[in-house]
Amino acid sequence: MIGAVYELSVHDEFCAAHAIWIRGERERLHGHNWRVNVVVAGPELDSDGLLCDFHVVDRSLASVIDPWRNGSLNDVAPFAPDGRGVNPTAERVAETIARALAAALSAALPPGASVRSVSVTEAPGCVATWRQG
């Protein structure tokens, strides 16, 4: 197929607290059940007919978010308290996951395939998405 793109999606969820900085003020620490949706896409399949093994993507995603589970995002890299690190907004959480996942999957993806988007649901109806430009 000319112009075909294959996509696969992997979902995970983790519980974590955060307190973001908005206009110079730090909000109160509060928690979420963060839902993560990752989309990997590419124009070619490997010799087994796979874009990438779902299990590889799932394990890689888990390794990225496991340090954040049941803790405070403000206490772990790359986020840090008092504005010294990355502000742990939903947008930055999505971007951080996307970049770490892309690095983790670099050897597992066929040529031309990549992490195309990561969506993070912070609360029902509140979704931030990082998309490869």
Coil, strand or helix at 52:
coil
Residue count (the chain): 133
2 has pLDDT over 70: no
Grouping H, G, I as helix, E, B as strand and the rest as coil, residue 120 is strand
Cα angle, residue 44 at apex, residues 64 and 119 outer, rounded to 5°: 35
Alpha helices in the chain (DSSP H): 54-65, 90-105
Closest CA to 37 of 128, 132, 107: 128
Q: Is the pLDDT of residue 80 over 80?
A: no
Distance between CA 17 and CA 31 in Å, rounded?
A: 4
pLDDT band for 85, please (50, 70, 90 cuts).
Answer: confident
pLDDT at position 133: 78
pLDDT, tens digit, 9 for 90 and up, residues 97-112: 999 999 999 999 988 9
What pLDDT, on a 0 to 100 scale, did the predictor assign at position 6? Answer: 95
What span, in angstroms and rounded, lies between the C-alpha atoms of 91 and 130?
7
pLDDT at 65: 97
How many other β-carbons are positioned within 10 Å of the β-carbon of residue 40? 25
pLDDT at residue 126 in the model: 96
pLDDT at 93 over 90: yes
Higher pLDDT, 132 or 91: 91
pLDDT at 125 over 90: yes
Considering the entire predicted model, what is its pTM? 0.92
pLDDT of residue 46: 87
